[in-house]
Amino acid sequence: MSGLQIDRLSMRFDLPNGTSVQALKDVSLDLQAGELLSVLGPSGCGKTTLLNIVAGFLAPTDGQIVLNGKRVRGPGAERGMVFQQGALFEWMNVRQNVGFGPSMKGMAKAEKAGIVDHLLDVVGLQDFKDKAVYELSGGMQQRVALARCLANDPDVILMDEPLGALDALTREKMQGLVLKLWKETGKTIILITHSVEEALLLGERLLVMAPRPGRIHKEYRLPFAEMGVGQDLRVVKKHPEFAARREEILSMIWDMEEEIMGRTEAV
């Protein structure tokens, strides 16, 4: 069976002071291979926890993750992660960073060089392959992080706010790149973002989560990611349905934030 099943996942963190936090409760979702899912929700609703469980970094208190018919019991090369920033190896140059996974697998030098070259082409960094990480802009570093992830040829790419630290213009270009990679590689992608626009643009499916306990509040199937492949994303944003969905989801999240604030103030 292919695809990713998130099956009745719950996660409770027991704190040293004897209390506990229900970070996720009964979260279920089926992703087909090649689907692109964006996840939105107020701070603390369990987005990172969900991703960490899918990555195998955390074991859930209940439920399971099944990838291609096999239960996930820890990290694995078939699931690649792209973090918000700072996850590159500072002591390696661009080429070595991208080639890290293939090196670990013991791949022959020539084959590795071919893969690295190809991926640096895909992310537009061929001219920077001998640069050190500190010589790159934030956007370039994230492109290296994407290429490094792809070099492992994972089935699923997990991204936690991958574009969150970038300026608006670079971010828009990177959104286009994520769509291009999605279409060209056919990878299954889960992307967490705080930006409603980004979630709409990049989510073929969009999950809105609610906090305390972290759970699925609403799910959408959207046409914008498909529209955005090879098209100016600003044109997509002008679509009347895009504006309507943006307003709907903004109000939804605003209401949740208000409720959280109300509860905090009442304490």
Ligand X SMILES: Nc1ncnc2c1ncn2[C@@H]1O[C@H](COP(=O)(O)OP(=O)(O)OP(=O)(O)O)[C@@H](O)[C@H]1O
Interacting residues with ligand X (CB under 6 A) = 13, 21, 23, 41, 43-49, 214
Q: How far apart are CA 189 and CA 157, in angstroms?
A: 5
> Residue 52, interface with Mg ion (CB under 5 A)?
no
**Given the rule CB under 5 A, which of 25-33, 47-55, 140-148, 203-211 is the region that contacts Mg ion?**
47-55
Rank residues 106 and 262 by Cβ distance to ligand X and give the closer one.
Answer: 262
Nearer to ligand X by C-beta: 44 or 76? Answer: 44
Residue closest to Mg ion when measured from CB atoms = 48
Q: How far apart are CA 69 and CA 2, in angstroms?
A: 6
Three-state secondary structure call for residue 42: coil
Cβ atoms of 147 and 123 closer than 8 Å: yes
Does 96 contact Mg ion by CB under 5 A? Answer: no
Strands 36-40 and 205-210: parallel
Nearer to ligand X, 43 or 126 (CB): 43
Compute the Cα dihedral for 144, 149, 150, 156 and give only its sign: negative
Work out how close the CB of 22 gets to ligand X at its nearest, in angstroms, rounded to a whole number.
8
- Report if residue 175 touches Mg ion, rule: CB under 5 A: no
Tell me the closest approach of the beta carbon of residue 108 to ligand X, in angstroms.
40
Q: Kindly state the smallest distance separating residue 2's Cβ from ligand X, in Å.
A: 27
| Comparison of 47 and 187: residue with beta carbon closer to Mg ion | 47
* Residue 144: closest CA among 160, 122, 170, 164: 122
Cβ distance 181 to 205 under 8 Å? no
Q: In angstroms, how far apart are the furthest CA atoms of the chain?
A: 63
Residues making contact with Mg ion (CB under 5 A): 47-48
